Amino acid sequence: MCPPPTPARKNLIMSIHPTRPAIAANALTFTWPDGTPVIASATFALDGGATGLVGTNGSGKSTLLRLLAGRLAPTSGSVYHSGHLAYLPQDITLDAGATVAEVLGVAQILGALDRIEAGETEESWYGIVGEDWDIETRTMAALTTVGLARLATPGEVDAAGRSEAGAIGRSLARSDVRAVRDLLHRPVGTVSGGEATALGLAARLLERPDVLLLDEPTNNLDRSGRERVHALVREWRSGTLVVVSHYRELLELVNQIAELRAGTLTLYGGGWSAYRDAVEGEQAAARAVLRTAKSAARREQREQREAETKLARRRREGKTARAESRFPKIVANTRRREAEVSAGKLRGIHEDRLAAARAHVEEAEAAVRDDASIRIDLPATAVPAGRTVLELQGVRLPFGTHGVCLTEAPVDAPSVDPAIQEREPTATHAIPAHAHGTIGANCPPGAHSGAHAAPDTDATLRNHEPHGRADRPTTAGHRTRTQLGIDLTIQGPEHIVLTGANGTGKTTLLNVIVGSEEPLAGRVRRAVPVGLLPQRLDGLDDSMSVLANVRRAAPEASPQAIRAALARFLFRGEDVERPAATLSGGERFRASLAAILLAEPAPQLLILDEPTNSLDVPSVAGLVSALECYRGALIVASHDWTFLRECHPTRWLTLDDGEARRPSM
């Protein structure tokens, strides 16, 4: 049952009978203190299964989840749920000094079990344990479910003085209870965002909730972690699951989609594809209604003009008749007054009909979504097929023990089950990429789309093993790893995908390529201008306008030229004068992308580091549209497989610990 409400929320959140919908809202309304509306009198019921909550950035998805979880009080209306509710927020902060057990919420129970096993018989210890005698087994199951594999542990320290990441998965593989206890009493240390999310999810699963609310649970997770979340959603059977996400792979697995748009929640049966098809059908109908409404408005406007022309002609004829004295003055004046009254009534009728037609047009326009795409010609980014773009020779990253493995994959993306990937390593070898460019429908002539060309490229990526094997047995019987050097040559407009588990150094490698970090050893040669779009989008000056930020990157360009280019990035009119601090997430992304692509000199090697992490689906579509018009070489690091397919990669690179694996889709 839900916890007791605070006085301000009394009667707003109540438990209901389990046979009723697991979570429901009645006339739910929420407005921020500054008057900004978020939810407008929403009434809905979610009665079991998995629901995907979608909407554009800033539409209020996280706010709605907080309302359902009881973390926010509604402005009006009410929320109901049955059974126990658990909520995982989007941003989780862990106390570095806390133990794994404390983070998972099982420390008190474990402490009581320790006391009982030590022979203490106080009734209070049994009361704390309650029905949770199997807490270790359930904790192991929860950690395994979320695929938690890397936490900071006391252990080997590399040359940079960093603790080598330990594997919880290896500890869980042990059968003895003491090993599990040791794991749960281990301090979590400083964990990554993905690991914090995994720990938080495991803690919620241990609560055995009837209603589970997850806000962007795959953010910061690597491919393995996302597969675990996908499995959780796919196999959800007990109660109601509501998950906020913009990853289409995950949304395909839910039973229904709930779209939050303009403060209204609309339910669609099925997963993402069914939702997309339904919306496309609605939009086709809405566009047809808009065309009809515009046609009716034009007809009313034409009829009004014709009526005004007739009235003007009659006024002229009446004036001429009075001047020629065809009628007595009293009769002429009476007819004139009657004509004016009749004309006024007719004019009023036409004005009312035209106003109604225009209102119908406005209503129809509101139902049609703005699906404008980024379309821009970027000739300065073009790279000839034979030109060398980047060379890495024997590069060792500033920390870690990781090397890069390249395995052959079809241009249309490989497809291997992740389980097979783990048990069937393949040989590492160089791949010449052969592909042909095509002209994209949304791009100016000459822009590349589809499978981008890298003809006859001698593009290789090799592992250097300066001490023989990457893993060498020591006298103590353990294995130590020697970092692998990286050789990489990129020629022509290749599209390269960089994948790998969290913590393997993808961002570090990209920073080394750009030059913001120095390698421990080796040589980096950049033969063309390089542009990096970082994960955090912190390249804009918040005190400056969108226009000023782009001018800072292209100081020689005229304001008029930049305004025209920004219009292609959907910043029109006064929007270019808005301070960067006021931009929404999607707008900030477009402004950051514009500042990079419109820079002088133009980037002929574009690097994107997890570009879709915080983007809604329309913003991802805008990025794909822009990349279709980009003519240079591209390196993308991402765990979003759907987006990576849309980048039309010519090569797939995997950054790991030196063991070659096939990338999986």
Residue at a domain's end among 345, 367, 389 = 367
In whole angstroms, what is the distance from residue 140 CA to residue 173 CA? 9
How far is it, in rounded angstroms, from Cα 5 to Cα 8? 8
Q: Flag whether pLDDT at 352 surpasses 50.
A: yes
Task: Please give the share of the chain, as a percent, with pLDDT higher than 70.
Answer: 71
The verdict on 433 and 483 lying in the same domain is yes
Strands (E), 500-597: 521-526, 530-533
pLDDT number for residue 136 = 78
Domain co-membership, 325 together with 350: yes
Task: Answer yes or no: do 606 and 591 share one domain.
Answer: no
Whether the pLDDT of residue 443 is over 60: the answer is no
190 pLDDT tier (thresholds 50, 70, 90) = low
pTM, two decimals, is: 0.69
Task: Decide if 618 contacts 585 (C-beta within 8 A).
Answer: no
- Looking at the domain assignment, is residue 254 inside a domain? yes
d(CA 107, CA 139): 11
* b/e code 407-437 from CB counts within 10 Å (16+ = b): bbbebebeebeeeebeeeeeebeebebebeb
Do 632 and 500 fall into the same domain?
yes
End residue of a domain, out of 161, 190, 219: 190
In this structure, what token pair is assigned to residue 409?
């994959």
Sorted by sequence, the CB contacts under 8 Å of residue 464 that are 6+ apart come out as 394, 403, 484, 485, 486, 487
Same domain, 493 and 625: yes
Name the 3-class secondary structure at 151: strand
Q: Are residues 85 and 100 both part of a single domain?
A: no
Question: Which residues are CB-neighbours of 575 under 8 A, at least 6 positions away?
Answer: 546, 566
Residue 197 forms part of a structural domain: no
Q: What is the mean pLDDT of the chain?
A: 75
- Is the pLDDT higher at 442 or at 124? 124
Backbone angles phi, psi at 381, to 5 degrees: -85, -5
Token readout for 121 is 């018989």
The three-state secondary structure class of 355 is helix
Q: Are residues 461 and 605 in the same domain?
A: yes
Residue 472's pLDDT band, with cuts at 50, 70 and 90, is very low
Q: Exposed, middle or buried, 59 (CB in 10 Å: 0-12/13-18/19+)?
A: buried
Same domain? For 491 and 631 the reply is: yes
In the numeric block, which tokens belong to residue 164?
Answer: 């080598």
Q: What is the mean pLDDT of residues 473-477?
A: 34
Q: Look at residue 473 and tell me whether its pLDDT is greater than 70.
A: no
Q: What is the pLDDT of residue 329?
A: 65
CA max distance for the chain: 129
With 90 as the cut, is the pLDDT of residue 50 above it? Answer: yes
Which segment of 1-10, 280-289, 501-510, 568-577 scores lowest on mean pLDDT?
A: 1-10
Highest mean pLDDT out of 179-183, 361-365, 408-412, 430-434: 361-365
Tell which wins on pLDDT, 596 or 342: 596
Residue 346 domain flag: yes
Return the number of other C-beta atoms located less than 10 Å from residue 326's C-beta.
10
Model confidence pLDDT, tens digit, residues 195-236: 778 888 888 988 889 999 999 898 778 888 888 899 999 999
Residue 456 has pLDDT above 60, yes or no: no
| Boundary-marking domain end, from 155, 190, 225 | 190
β-pair partners for 442? none
**406 and 511 fall within a common domain:** yes
Any idea which of 268-272, 287-291, 396-400, 522-526 has the lowest mean pLDDT?
396-400
Predicted pLDDT at 86: 93
> Within a domain: residue 407?
yes
Range of the domain at 586: 542-597
Say if 495 falls within a structural domain: yes
Q: CATH number of the domain that 231 lies in?
A: 3.40.50.300
Report if residue 275 sits inside a domain. Answer: no
The pLDDT tens digits for 358-378 are 888 888 887 878 766 777 888
- Whether pLDDT at 481 is above 80: no
pLDDT tens for residues 103-140?
A: 888 888 888 887 888 888 888 888 888 888 888 778 87
Measured from the Cβ of residue 498, the count of other Cβ atoms closer than 10 Å reads 25
Total count of domains within the chain: 5
**Cα distance between residue 350 and residue 193, in whole Å:** 63
Same domain? For 259 and 145 the reply is no
In a domain, 414, yes or no: yes
Got the DSSP string for 32-68? Answer: -TTS-EEEEEEEEEE-SEEEEEE--TTSSHHHHHHHH
Same domain, 300 and 352: yes
CA distance 157 to 399: 10
Q: What is residue 131's predicted lDDT score, i.e. its pLDDT?
A: 83
Nearest to 140 by CA among 195, 179, 109, 108: 179
The pLDDT score that the predictor gives to residue 419 is 31
> 3-class DSSP state for residue 169?
helix
pLDDT value for 290 = 87
Domain membership flag for residue 160? yes
Whether the pLDDT of residue 514 is over 90: the answer is yes
Q: Residues 462, 611: one domain?
A: yes
**What percentage of the chain reaches a pLDDT higher than 90?**
31
Highest mean pLDDT among 219-228, 303-312, 582-591, 598-607: 598-607
